[in-house]
Structure 1
Amino acid sequence: MFWKFDLHTTSHIDTLLEKEDVTLTEVMDEEDVLQECKAQNHKLVDFLVRPQYMEDLVTYITQEPSDDVEETIKYKYPNISCELLTSDVGQINDRLGEDERLLMKLYGFLQNESPLNPLLASFFSKVLSILIGRKPEQIVEFLRKREDFVDLMIKHIGTSAIMDLLLRMLTCVEPQQLRQDVLNWLNEEKVIQRLVDMVQPSQDEDRHSNASQSLCEIIRLSRDQMFQVQGCSEPDPLLATLEKQETVEQLLSNIFDKEKNDSAIVSVIQILLTLFETRRPAFEGHLEICPPGMSHPSFSVNQSILEAVRPRLKDFHQLLLEPPKKNIMKTTWGVLDPPVGNTRLNVVRLVASLLQTNTHIINMELINLNTLGVILDMYFKYIWNNFLHLQVEICTAMILAMPPAQSENLKINSDQDPVRESHLINNLFQKCQFIQRILDAWSSNEKAQAEGGRRQGYMGHLTRIANSIVHNSDKGPNGAQIQQLISELTEEDRERWETFISGQLADTNKRNTVDLAFSDYQMQQMTSNFIEQFGFNDEEFADQDDVVDIPFDRISDINFSLNTNESANIALFEACCKEKIQQFEDAGSDEEDIWDEKDVTFAPDAQRRPRSSGSTDSEESTDSEEEDVKRDPFDPNNASSDDRMEVDTGPLWTANFDDIPMDTGSSTAMGESAPASASAGWSSPNASPGKAMGFIIPPPSFPRPCVAMVSPISILRDEAAQPASSPGGKAGCSDAEESVTTETVTNGSMKETVSLTVDAKTETAIFKSSSPVVTQDSALLAVSFVFKLESQVQQTFKMPSR
């Protein structure tokens, strides 16, 4: 194990702190000073909380390093000081949070002139933030005594670390009553109005962005807090101030009554979009917390905001026509003069949010200005701006799917039933000629593609817009109105539309909805084609646990005719093995780990699943027993010269089955086929004619009588085999040291004599062949002979299946 080597190195800090003249910088130079501090090393913490060293640590993070310090180590000590002060050690927090002199030194960083050093500002914000979380009462009380705190925060709002500190005060102060006191205090200091004043053309972009982000986060945090804190009767004063009509009007006045500034306009729109957010899922279960039917600012837009925005819609509409000046943009697809720009894109987003409120006065103002027509013009002009295309699709989808506003006029139909119609849909289909523009754009795209051009970038969104029209005309709340407007089209346009939705649109939808997953039929066809091409058998695609048996299946299908002495040996065999039976009766378990080191056991052939013959490395595969008969695997005419198995010259290769425990039982006939798996070895093909091929197979470790066998293979033998151990053709069983079984087999045009010698003294069985060259046929015969021996032993001793 790793721990026994004791590789943990002893810290040098304890030894260093024992020096009388040790300095703070020497301690901070130690590599493990931070780890030891977080581990609350008592000597180190006691050293750091000394008044002089605490003051030095605060000085490092609040004062600019000297210019003559090398750049590589200029901020080394300020960084380490920040990490030590924010290591969340109780003694350090107590000393820093309760010592007003240290707090004043820390607070002095805010009194520096702008711009602040961003790195030191992050150190300062991090230290003060952890104090707000650990010592909220002391820190809030200290800051409230500083009359210029809010002024300094707004002054440095362009530094992101200061913005983060302001937001931290709104979220990390606990308990709830203290947080409410902080909100009231900041509201009294008019922090919202001061942030609004930062979003105007006279300020720089950093102030625009950070002030806007601060206001957006205040809105979201305040709304989330109202859901999370149950039973809170006091409203959030900052959110209430932001939602006032005069606050929104001041925001809009900053960007429209002065010089147009792209950064300021985008920042104000971001604030408005946050105010328009409804049903924002702040966390899981958000919607369930609010009781059904409850009126809540997060579920509806405050009417005062809409009242403030409505008079300024014409100014936003003008921004779509005349955005802030932008330089010509050259792209790979051409020159954009002018480009869409961030301003116009955010104005379209604002229009989409206004449409979502479904307010009658807002809808009518947009209709009168023809804002939807201008947006559609931009959609078809800027063919590669998918940000714009998405917003236009959202606008059209909401118009088609939203029910008419409550203030919409009622229309009496032919059945005298009052029907409320959407003015936005009428404007979209009649004045904007929505259907005609879709058909013209589709035809133009097909024409361009036919001439070798590229598909227009808006076609995907245009497809979804067309599908939205079809869907809402059938099932939407405005279905009757949409169908009526389509029927009022000219006959030519109506026929074009009907042809389009049944032809081009249907074909596009079919292509877009093709299931990319393969069906069962396709998988079967692919498998069939693969087998036809490569000649594999279906069984070779079975589970991997079965694949290992495939090369030996052909051998296992060989019919054996076995003659043995089934009577003379039974009594002696049972006498020798009776004492070994009980300990093996419960051997084997189906749930054992196959990778554990354990004894190998063999299954009887009756338990094997029938399989068709096949071999992945064979030159032919068969699917039936009939084909196996036609293509005899031992037929020399059936094997090519490349199929001959040869091994390098060397010592005898043996297959060793040492220490295989076997369950014993009553003797049975040994006439079943052997399992087709074993290991075997052959002699060199270059051996002399007199040298034999052999297998050494140790018998089980317990003493048993010798079982000599004769195994003539009926389908291959040329003449009857006569066992050498008995003149009567029966294998004898005695105490002789060695019994030999021989067999003559026809191998093509030659005959081959094989023999099995069982040596009871050494407990080995040796298989020999007189052939000087090991051919594939003789090798397969040898393997089958060994497998047969295994099967016989298994059947005799009732071994558990492997």
Structure 2
Amino acid sequence: MFWKFDLHTTSHIDTLLEKEDVTLTEVMDEEDVLQECKAQNHKLVDFLVRPQCMVDLVTYITQEPSDDVEEKIKYKYPNISCELLTSDVGQINDRLGEDESLLMKLYGFLQRDSPLNPLLASFFSKVLSILIGRKPEQIVEFLRKREDFVDLMIKHIGTSAIMDLLLRMLTCIEPQQLRQDVLNWLNEEKVIQRLVDMVQPSQDEDRHSNASQSLCEIIRLSRDQMFQVQGCSEPDPLLATLEKQETVEQLLSNIFDKEKNDSAIVSVIQILLTLFETRRPAFEGHLEICPPGMSHPSFSVNQSILEAVRPRLKDFHQLLLEPPKKNIMKTTWGMLDPPVGNTRLSVVRLVASLLQTNTHIINMELINLNTLGVILDMYFNYIWNNFLHIQVEICTAMILAMPPAQSENPEINRDQDQEPVRESHLIKHLFQKCQFIQRILDAWSSNEKEQGEGGRRRGYMGHLTRIANSIVHNSDKGPNGAKIQQLISEDDKERWEAFTSGQLADTNKRNTVDLVSLIQTPVTRCQNVCKVHRVFTLEIEANIALFEACCKEKIQQFEDAGSDEEDIWDEKDITFAPEAQRCPRSSGSTDSEESTDSEEEDVKRDPFEPNNASSDDRMEETPWVSTHQCSLKVSFATVPYRNKHLTSYSLITVIMLSLCDVPVSDQWPRDEAAQPANSPGRKAGGSDAEETITTETVTNGSMKETVSLTVDASDNTPYPFPPVTNPSLTTQPFTSQCMWN
């Protein structure tokens, strides 16, 4: 209909472009210039691809605005220029991607001195990114001819938009062979080694962060691409370079052979954590591992990375003892001298990741250094640092749940003809050297003593509860259960059993929430409720028919005709067919006598006749429209079509709440003339003599609904029906163990 009558308006841009001396800024000042460009307005696109306009657009996004321009409009034209150039219009992409002079002007932005304007850098990156996606062959060929491209990208890696551009080159280039050529080219340009050189103390934090993030994303993107592309015979050269032992050794040398720098250390650890992420095996030399709780046989970690990290474990251990200097931190509960710091927290995360590999040589090195003992000391000293607590919990859970490392030799326990027990050095170290059980029991007792004296519960107690439960679970059902039971000394065994059956069991009971009890309805009450027929005022089908008849009479089919055809919106007398004036009542009704009388009266009168304002049971003069039909043999009073309150849904919600014995407020408007809720009412028709009918009239906004309930006489307790103002709560299905009548 909208297009038939040609009601759309012509853009002012078309009129503006008819001027001979129109300028680019005048066009860019138009409010709908972007919409018209994306809609590929021919006049506008032809104007924008003019040589001078393209030069001006590129200039706006690569040149600093004048300082005398008002700040709020300083970047107005650069922003609009970027949006026009990235509107993904074929003519604009062709002109920009195939014109080397325009590309050189765009490329000149990279040749500026650091730091780049971050906003202009984002415009530049966005424009070049869309060209990479739409004109990959031309753009790759152009960039490969620029010998300083990789140097400039690394130089400006501290600008996030340039980092994003580098990653875009790895993900948005198609076809696959072209992407492989780009990877080989970047690898030949030693982009990985250059990024690694950025993560060292001599560089600033922005370069540390962006170089580290770039390397992490290269690892993830390369692995994902490997999984997605089937039949890819060539490995990713950038990933292969990153996983080389010498590359990892260079990363570690950057942070340990020079002055300690918190930002550089954290960035390097982040790269290592990404390298340790479990993945499917792709090359030879990968060690098969499996995280705790998983049985996937295709996860692996590159052995060369572990070989590079192992000699540096003593340096990481020393960082736990002597982290980079931190100032005293004031907190709400006291002073931290020194605070945990990001460095030590990252080292603990690295230890957790190393434990997941379950490598014998790594495990033994950690045992010899007593790294686990230092981490446990930190756990109990920093009682409010939950970031630390969760990492320690992960470490202990993996040690308890992992089977012994493959290189470890089993030891046979021949006492009393017991089954062979395979030795786990980590568990033995944890329970004997670190005194795991004793420390848990002492910390628990100390916390209870402080709480008994009016103190606060320690912040690690929730994690300590989970650690204790992990010990109990693994000692019974874990792969190291026999060893764990064996390592609990006789002195601690009695105390531990008393703790697990007493304090720990009580804590677990308090922490368990019986959600079922919140919504469960007693069976006997369900049986009574299932006998109830909830009936509300009818006329659903009748009113639907009346409304549809009105629509059919009001809305006519549009036919092609000249301007002399009759105005379709003129008011005309409406006549209804006899079957439209009176529609049959809904079958299956068990309404009360009052509602039956009301129905008959409503059907007889004109649906568009003004209602009697003095009647309490009528609503404002609007056509009646049904809002809901319910298959639960529940009918509702219809509401005006402009009434936004879905009263029917509200009443369903209230009924469901009342069935579940959910306490609801009784502060809701009622009709003063309504029957008392506890009146016996009228005997229900049917074979069940124990049923009676209770009626209530609910007023909700401008309407009233008469609620008729058939209630079992053995439990004649009226249900409160407060108005529910959020109909969205009723869209979820209600589940009960009973069948609705």
Name the TM-score, length of structure 2 as normaliser. 0.71
Superposition map of 1:125-136 within 5 A: 125-136=125-136
Q: Does 1:242 align with 2:242?
A: yes
Shift of residue 409 of structure 1? 2.5
SS of the counterpart of 1:301?
Answer: strand
Partner of residue 480, structure 1? 482
Q: Does 1:434 align with 2:436?
A: yes
Shift of residue 594 of structure 1? 5.8
Q: Once the two structures are superposed, what CA deviation does each residue of 1:713-769 show, in whole Å capped at 9, x if it has no partner?
A: xxxxxxxxxxxxxxxxxxxxxxxxxxxxxxxxxxxxxxxxxxxxxxxxxxxxxxxxx
The one-letter amino acid paired with 2:333 is W
Distance 1:236 1:158, change over 3 A: same
Partner of residue 83, structure 1? 83
Partner of residue 686, structure 1? none
Aligned equivalents of 2:582 and 2:594: distance in 1? 29
Partner of residue 499, structure 2? 500
Partner of residue 72, structure 1? 72
The one-letter amino acid paired with 1:443 is S
The one-letter amino acid paired with 2:316 is F
Aligned equivalents of 1:74 and 1:539: distance in 2? 70
Shift of residue 600 of structure 1? 7.0
Superposition map of 1:599-638 within 5 A: 599=582
Aligned equivalents of 1:236 and 1:658: distance in 2? 77
Contact 1:429 1:435 in 2 (8 A): yes
Partner of residue 584, structure 1? none
Unaligned runs of 5+ in 1: 282-295, 529-537, 550-587, 616-653, 662-678, 684-774, 778-782, 785-802
The one-letter amino acid paired with 1:459 is M
Superposition map of 1:8-87 within 5 A: 8-87=8-87
Partner of residue 380, structure 2? 380
SS of the counterpart of 1:342?
Answer: helix
Contact 2:201 2:260 in 1 (8 A): yes
Aligned equivalents of 1:357 and 1:61: distance in 2? 49
Shift of residue 264 of structure 1? 0.3
Partner of residue 355, structure 1? 355
Shift of residue 548 of structure 1? 5.5
Aligned equivalents of 1:521 and 1:407: distance in 2? 53
Aligned equivalents of 1:234 and 1:59: distance in 2? 41
Aligned equivalents of 2:484 and 2:585: distance in 1? 77
Aligned equivalents of 1:602 and 1:14: distance in 2? 59
Partner of residue 420, structure 1? 422
Aligned equivalents of 1:136 and 1:129: distance in 2? 10
Partner of residue 212, structure 1? 212
Shift of residue 146 of structure 1? 0.3
Contact 2:62 2:124 in 1 (8 A): yes
Distance 1:521 1:145, change over 3 A: closer
Partner of residue 336, structure 2? 336
Partner of residue 346, structure 1? 346
Partner of residue 771, structure 1? none
Aligned equivalents of 2:5 and 2:440: distance in 1? 76
SS of the counterpart of 1:125?
Answer: helix
SS of the counterpart of 2:515?
Answer: coil
Contact 1:199 1:268 in 2 (8 A): yes
Partner of residue 624, structure 1? none
Contact 2:545 2:583 in 1 (8 A): no
Aligned equivalents of 1:343 and 1:190: distance in 2? 29
Superposition map of 1:542-691 within 5 A: 542=532, 545-546=534-535, 592=541, 595-597=544-546, 599=582, 657=601, 660=604
Q: Once the two structures are superposed, what CA deviation does each residue of 1:71-100 show, in whole Å capped at 9, x if it has no partner?
A: 121111111111111011111101100010
1:450 to 437, 449, 452: 452
Aligned equivalents of 2:603 and 2:204: distance in 1? 87
Shift of residue 603 of structure 1? 9.4
Q: Does 1:398 align with 2:342?
A: no
The one-letter amino acid paired with 2:448 is E
Aligned equivalents of 1:111 and 1:184: distance in 2? 24
Partner of residue 516, structure 2? 517
The one-letter amino acid paired with 1:350 is L
Distance 1:183 1:327, change over 3 A: same
Shift of residue 162 of structure 1? 0.2
Contact 1:329 1:339 in 2 (8 A): yes
Partner of residue 460, structure 1? 462
Aligned equivalents of 1:134 and 1:608: distance in 2? 65
Q: Once the two structures are superposed, what CA deviation does each residue of 1:750-795 show, in whole Å capped at 9, x if it has no partner?
A: xxxxxxxxxxxxxxxxxxxxxxxxx999xxxxx99xxxxxxxxxxx
Shift of residue 280 of structure 1? 8.3
Distance 1:656 1:522, change over 3 A: closer
The one-letter amino acid paired with 1:657 is E
Contact 1:277 1:298 in 2 (8 A): no
Aligned equivalents of 1:321 and 1:425: distance in 2? 23
The one-letter amino acid paired with 2:495 is R
Shift of residue 315 of structure 1? 0.7
Contact 1:156 1:162 in 2 (8 A): yes
Partner of residue 187, structure 1? 187
Shift of residue 519 of structure 1? 6.1
Partner of residue 175, structure 1? 175
Contact 1:125 1:164 in 2 (8 A): yes
Aligned equivalents of 1:776 and 1:125: distance in 2? 71
Contact 2:542 2:586 in 1 (8 A): no
Shift of residue 453 of structure 1? 1.6
Distance 1:108 1:658, change over 3 A: closer
Contact 1:359 1:405 in 2 (8 A): yes
Shift of residue 29 of structure 1? 0.9
Aligned equivalents of 1:379 and 1:609: distance in 2? 68
Aligned equivalents of 1:592 and 1:100: distance in 2? 71
SS of the counterpart of 1:420?
Answer: coil
Aligned equivalents of 1:658 and 1:247: distance in 2? 85
Aligned equivalents of 2:228 and 2:599: distance in 1? 75
Shift of residue 3 of structure 1? 7.8
Distance 1:776 1:351, change over 3 A: closer
Contact 2:421 2:482 in 1 (8 A): no
Shift of residue 657 of structure 1? 3.0
SS of the counterpart of 2:601?
Answer: coil
Aligned equivalents of 2:599 and 2:98: distance in 1? 83
Q: Once the two structures are superposed, what CA deviation does each residue of 1:325-384 show, in whole Å capped at 9, x if it has no partner?
A: 111111112111111111111100000000000001100000011000111111111111
